[in-house]
Amino acid sequence: MWPMKKSRRNYRRIEKSVRAILEAVGEDPDRQGLQKTPERIARMFLDEVLVGYQQDLEEIVNNAIFDIEYDQMVVVKDIDVYSMCEHHMLPFFGVAHVAYIPKGKIIGLSKIPRIVDHFARRLQVQERLTVQIATALQELLQPRGVAVVIEAIHLCSVMRGVRKPRNKMVTSEVLGLFRSDLRTREEFMAHIGRSFHLND
């Protein structure tokens, strides 16, 4: 997917839609507290929460892939994740754990959280997000294996619907050695240590 380019027209379209929503729920968009809400929401979506649509993965990685003879597991755990459920446009949030086993190439440490954000900052389902992160690393590095686990709380099941505030969703995607070799997968799980304790 090519990055979407921001334009003033897109900000105006969101502002107009937010104003219509405010009117539809019985609010007065011209009252003092709401006068700038459409503008704020447009900036929030296009500049922050859904900025992933406007980013280019190659620019994010910025050639930070290096030829290194290292063949042991690399794990980056407890990466904060904030995304938006595409079904109700409510946030889900938690942590991602990412690992790969190099085959002659490594990626700069800061790039893995940036890749997570790149895919998280758009309308998502957690399952797709997990796969996209793993697939991107697989394509960028061609490693011996990739593993991604995401643990998150979804406000669509906390604020509405079943209203269960302690529900956590766990998704995983394992490729290469992580899929074919049980010991490799177990090592990864031992590294991440199941240390996720939101609301505990």
The pLDDT value recorded for residue 194 is: 56
Percentage of residues of the chain with pLDDT beyond 70: 94
Given a cut of 90, whether residue 171 has pLDDT beyond it is yes
85 given a catalytic annotation: yes
Which of 125, 117, 128 lies closest to 48, judged by CA? 117
Question: What's the pTM?
Answer: 0.91
Quick check: do 8-54 and 64-192 share a fold? no
Task: Please state, for a pLDDT cut of 90, what percent of the chain lies above it.
Answer: 88
Q: Does residue 88 have an active-site annotation?
A: yes
Residues 6+ apart with CB under 8 A from 91: 82, 83, 84, 85, 155
Any idea which fold 8-54 has?
GTP Cyclohydrolase I; Chain A, domain 1 (1.10.286)
39 is catalytic: no
Q: Give the per-residue pLDDT at 117.
A: 98
Every domain of the chain and the residues it spans: 8-54, 64-192
Q: HEC string of the chain?
A: CCCCCCCHHHHHHHHHHHHHHHHHCCCCCCCHHHCCHHHHHHHHHHHHHCHHHHCCHHHHHCCCEEECCCCCCEEEEEEEEEEEECCCCCEEEEEEEEEEECCCEEECCCHHHHHHHHHHCCEECHHHHHHHHHHHHHHHHCCCEEEEEEEEEECCCCCCCCCCCCCCEEEEEEEEHHHHCHHHHHHHHHHHCCCCCCCC
**Residue 32 is a catalytic residue:** no
Lowest mean pLDDT among 48-52, 141-145, 159-163: 159-163
Q: Say whether 48 is catalytic.
A: no
pLDDT in tens, 116-153: 999 999 999 999 999 999 999 999 999 999 999 999 99
- Among residues 35, 48, 87, 191, the one annotated as catalytic is 87
165 pLDDT higher than 90: no
CATH 3.30.1130.10 fits 64-192, yes or no: yes
Q: Has residue 197 got a pLDDT over 60?
A: no
Catalytic residue (choose from 27, 55, 138, 156): 156
pLDDT in tens, 73-93: 999 999 999 999 999 999 999
197 is catalytic: no
